[in-house]
Chains A and B, each alone.
Chain A
Amino acid sequence: MTSRRRFLQAGGAAVIGGATASLAGCASGPEPRKSLGRVMIIGAGYGGLTAAKYLRMWSGGNIEVMLVDREPTFISCPMSNLVIGGSRTLAEITRSRNKLRDYGVQLLTDEVTAVDHAKKIVKFKARYADMGYDRLIVSPGIDFMYETLPGMKGAEAQSQVLHAWKAGEQTVALRKQLESMPANGVYVLSIPLAPYRCPPGPYERVCQVAHYLKQAKPKARIIVLDANENITSKGPLFRAAWEQLYKGMIEYRPNSEVKDVDVRGKTLKTDFDSIKGDVLNVLPPMRAGDIARSAGLINANNRWCGVDWLSTESTAVPGVHVLGDATLSAPAMPKSGHMANQHGKLAAAAIVEIMNGRQPSQTPVIANTCYSFVSDKEVIHVASVHQYDPKQKTLVTVPGSGGVSASRSAIEGVYGWAWAQNIWGDMLG
C-alpha cells in the first residue's frame, strides 16, 4: 500500500497537463510501474464512483484514474425519499469520497465544460487547466427537459416548484414545504412518461409523503398525476401499501400527463384538467445530463446515449464510455443507482482489457436490486439479472429469474438500509 501511495503522489504532482506528462511523473516514482494510460471519469455518482474504484482494483493500479464532479461529496438519490418522509436525515445519505484516494483515484472538484474528442482533452470551469486522457467515461446522470413545461422555464419557477429528483438541496427544501403545508393541504406529484430516473421512485415518494402526513397532518391529501397508464414498477405492492397504510389519503390518476405549470396559481395543467395544490412536486421529463449533450454523446431520441453493452462504449464517439441513467437502457433495464454501479463495473472490466490490448468479455452479466420503502420500516423489492445475448447484441433479462417481493416486510426494511450501506461502501471504499 505504501508503494502505491507513493506512486500516486508522484502521479498527483502532474495533475495539470496531458496524460504524457503524468506518465513521466509515474516513471519517476520510487517503484516504477508500467502505466497503461489515463482514464478520465466525469460524474461521481453511482456509476462514476464504482468505475473509478474498480478500474484501480482490476488494473492492479496500472491505469491512472481521474474522477471529477462539481460536488465534493456524494449524496445518494436512493434513500433520499426517506429524508422527505422524515425517518432519515440528509447527513445519513451523504458520504465522503476521500477513501477512494487509498485506491489511487485522483479526485477533482470542478465542472467539466467541454470535451475535445479529437485532442482527448477535457476543459474545466474553474480550478483546473485543460487535462488529457486516453479513455473517457461520462456518467452524468440526468437533466430536466423544462422546455416541455412553459411555466417552468425560469429559475424562479424552478426554485418554487421542486423536483427533488437529484438528492441534496431540493430534498431538504421539499421536506420544508411539506412541513409548512396547511393541515388540510394538498400535495400533488406529477410523474413523466417512462423512461425516467428510478421507475419506482415516484411511488415510493408518495408512500414517504403519506407516512409523514399521516402522523403530522392526517387531513391532508395526496394527488398523483401519472403520465403513464399505470404504476410503472411494483404496481400491486404499492397499491396494497396505499390502500392498507394510507387509506383515503391518496388519489391516483393514470394517463395524466402534466403539460404546463402555473407556478403563481399553484396549478398543474393536463390536456383536460387543472389541478390545484398547496405543494407541487413536478418531475419533468428527463434526458441524459448536459455534459453528455455538449460532448455529442446523445444519439437516441435527443435524450439518451446509445452504448455497446459489451463495454458501455458510446455508439456516437469511440473511446468514450457512458454509464448509468444517461444511457439508452437495454430492454427491461431500469435507470437505477444499482444499475449504474453495475455499468461502472462492466466498463472497468472492459477498459482494463482494452487498454491491455485484449478483447473485453463477450459474456457480461449484471443484476439489479431495488428496495422501495413504503413506510419508515417496511420495504418491497424488485430484482433482475441481465445476461448478454450475442444474437440481439444487448443485455437481456434471464427468463424465469428476477421478480418482486411476495409482500411488504420489515425484514426487507432491514435489508434495504443494509443494501445502501454496502453499495455505498462498494463505491466509496
Chain B
Amino acid sequence: MNRKLLPALLPALLPVLLPALLLPLGALAQSADPNVGRMIASNCANCHGTNGVSVGGMPALAGRPRADLLQMMREFRDGKRPATIMHQLAKGYNEAQLEAVSAYLSTQKPN
C-alpha cells in the first residue's frame, strides 16, 4: 500500500480494524470459522460418541453445563485433573477452541 495513503485511510479503517485487533488470536480463528465448536466436538466423538452422546464405557458430554465442560478441559490442560489421556489431548487446543467446544456440547441433546 502507498505509504502516504495509509495515514489518510487509517481513520476510516479504524472502526473496522479495531475490534479485530482487540480480539485474542484464538477468537479471530473462531470468528473465521462459525463451525469450530461443531468441528472440535466431532474430535471428541471418536471416544465420547457423536455430538457427545456416548454409547457407553466413556463419559457422555452432551448437554452438560458449558461452564463445567470448560472448567474440566482447562483443568485437564493445566494438569490439575487426573487423567489417562485427556491431559495430553486438552493441550492441543487453544482457549477459544475449548470455549467453542464447551458451548457446542452443552447445547446437544443427551441420550
Interfacial residues, chain A to chain B (CB-CB below 8 A): 53-54, 58, 338, 341-342, 345, 349, 361-367, 369, 381, 383-387, 397-398, 400-403, 405, 409, 411-412, 414-415, 417-419, 421-423, 425-426
**What size tier do the contact residues of chain B reach?**
20 to 34
B35 within 8 A of A: yes
Q: With A365-B39, A405-B84, A409-B84 given, name 17 new contacts (CB 8 A).
A: A342-B43, A342-B46, A345-B43, A349-B35, A349-B39, A361-B32, A361-B36, A366-B43, A386-B92, A398-B92, A398-B93, A400-B91, A401-B88, A402-B92, A418-B56, A421-B55, A422-B55
**Residues of the B chain whose Cβ atoms lie less than 8 Å from the Cβ of A403:** 88
B108 within 8 A of A: no
- Kindly report which residue of chain A lies nearest to residue B84, judged by CB atoms: A412
- In the complex, A421→B48 CA distance in Å? 10
Do A369 and B46 contact each other (CB < 8 Å), given the known contacts A363-B33, A381-B85, A383-B88?
yes
Assess whether A367 is in contact with B89, with CB atoms less than 8 Å apart.
yes
When each residue 69-111 of chain B gets 1 if its CB lies under 8 Å from chain A and 0 otherwise, what string results? Answer: 0000000000000001100110111000100000000000000
Interfacial residues, chain B to chain A (CB-CB below 8 A): 29, 32-33, 35-36, 38-40, 42-43, 45-50, 54-58, 84-85, 88-89, 91-93, 97
- In the complex, A421→B60 CA distance in Å? 13
Assess whether B43 is in contact with A365, with CB atoms less than 8 Å apart.
yes
**Residues of the A chain whose Cβ atoms lie less than 8 Å from the Cβ of B42:** 54, 342, 345, 349
Interchain CB contact (< 8 A) of B49 among A384, A386, A422: A422
**Residues of the B chain whose Cβ atoms lie less than 8 Å from the Cβ of A423:** 46-47
- In the complex, A365→B56 CA distance in Å? 25
Do A426 and B45 contact each other (CB < 8 Å), given the known contacts A402-B92, A414-B57?
yes
Give 12 CB contacts A-B under 8 Å: A349-B38, A365-B93, A367-B89, A398-B92, A401-B89, A401-B92, A402-B89, A411-B84, A412-B84, A421-B55, A425-B55, A426-B45
